[in-house]
């Protein structure tokens, strides 16, 4: 039985530069948006207070939600914890979908926006991580 050397195993998991940089760019944009959202929730400007009133969420939860989002995003930008961060961000975004559904907001603009964003979060990781691509292939391997 043959075993692959560490160098051969590493070569099998290399990511083409274009794919790597596309993944980094998408992840970077997603992280920047999440960091801005977290900062806004922590700062609680008038727009955030008005949004909390519209959604029925108590404004005192703004800092808690901002801290959860900030922590999840920090985990997302650290390469060793990127998958954990993506999982936590997916849960956070799921809460946003539930809130929009409860409020009967327009489906394709408001309600599904967090889903679109979740797809970007995972796409950025998928492009950079060969192990994730093996687990979630977009087509069958030959």
Inter-residue long-range contacts of 92-96, CB under 8 Å, 24+ positions, other chains counted: 92/68, 93/117, 93/118, 93/121, 94/118
Quote the pTM value: 0.86
Q: What pLDDT score was predicted for residue 137?
A: 87
Residue 34 has pLDDT above 50, yes or no: yes
Q: What pLDDT score was predicted for residue 53?
A: 95
């Amino acid at each position: 039985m043959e075993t692959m050397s560490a160098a051969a195993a590493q070569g099998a998991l290399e990511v083409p530069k274009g794919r790597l940089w596309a993944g980094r760019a998408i992840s970077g944009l997603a992280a920047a948006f999440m960091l801005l959202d977290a900062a806004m929730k922590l700062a609680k400007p008038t727009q955030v207070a008005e949004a909390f009133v519209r959604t029925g969420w108590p404004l005192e939860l703004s800092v808690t939600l901002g801290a959860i989002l900030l922590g999840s995003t920090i985990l997302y930008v650290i390469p060793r914890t990127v998958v954990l961060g993506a999982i936590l961000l997916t849960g956070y975004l799921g809460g946003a979908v539930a809130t929009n559904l409860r409020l009967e907001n327009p489906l394709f603009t408001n309600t599904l926006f967090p889903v679109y964003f979740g797809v970007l979060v995972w796409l950025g990781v998928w492009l950079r991580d060969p192990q994730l691509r093996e687990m979630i292939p977009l087509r069958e391997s030959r």
